[in-house]
Amino acid sequence: MTARSPDAVLVRRIVLPLVVIAGLVILWDVAIRAFAIPPYVIPTPASVGHALVKERARLVENAIPTILESLGGFALGNLVAIAAAIAFVHNKMLERALYPVAVAVRTLPVVAIAPIFVLMLGNGYSPKIAIAALITFFPTLVNMVEGLESADPQALELMHVLSASRTEVFRYVRWPSSLPYLFSAMRIASTSSVLGALVAEWIGTNTGLGYLIVLTTYDFRTALLYAAMVVTSAIALAFFFMVSTLEWLLVRWER
């Protein structure tokens, strides 16, 4: 392989995707004109841009609850998953008893659980955080258990030779070994937690981007609907970017 200059890397990683996105937007615009699609079915890119600017106060106002719910759910889901994974690795009985339950919960459709949580937890932030947490929980649990088990057997044997305590084995070997696994789970969770919060906002609430999406769909305000989707997507991307940056800072040895 030939060495690439930083400029070439910039072109490949940033310019290229931007060109593709611009191309897709142009294609979208051309298709609407060519097939004479009415704006209430699909809005033009320009009208979506217009809605983003004109309705920015409304979009921000609805984005804040969605961001808080996603972050809360992300934090809660990951913390519980990490704690469960640590417990599982140290107690095989617990793992055998609870792992199938976790898998079973995973198979329940989120769209069906959302109303149940609203019934149980009311109309506030709690049911949304719970849904976002639930959606985050499983990938982190699976990856974290695998990560903690991924410790080099030779390193574990060394720790035994050094008469290390369980806490030390965890601190010096198991926990650092699991970090690459944890981060790959958190990268998935960073975007799916937004999805969870969004789905939870479809029912029993009157704020949030999920609510805005449902409302504008019924009102045929497609430009604002698309603008809400753009904002949602931007939030998910921002989370993904934050997790990736944190990984880049903390998991240096994998590079």
Residues that bind other proteins (CB under 8 A): 152, 154-155, 157-165, 168, 172-173, 176, 179, 252-254
CB-wise, 13 or 252, nearer to other proteins? 252
CB-wise, 156 or 195, nearer to other proteins? 156
Longest dimension (CA), the chain: 75
Tokens 């940056």 found at: 245
CA–CA distances in Å: residue 103 to residues 96, 141, 146: 12, 10, 15
Cβ 145 to other proteins, closest distance in Å?
20
Cβ 249 to other proteins, closest distance in Å?
13
CB-wise, 49 or 176, nearer to other proteins? 176
| Dihedral sign from CA coordinates of 81, 108, 99, 183 | negative
Cβ 26 to other proteins, closest distance in Å?
44
DSSP 49-117: HHHHHHTHHHHHHHHHHHHHHHHHHHHHHHHHHHHHHHHHHH-HHHHHHHHHHHHHHHHS-HHHHHHHH
Helix (H) or strand (E) holding 141: helix 125-149
CB-wise, 157 or 219, nearer to other proteins? 157
Cβ 165 to other proteins, closest distance in Å?
7
**Calpha distance 229→231 (Å, rounded):** 5
Helix (H) or strand (E) holding 211: helix 209-218
Cβ 247 to other proteins, closest distance in Å?
13
CB-wise, 28 or 172, nearer to other proteins? 172
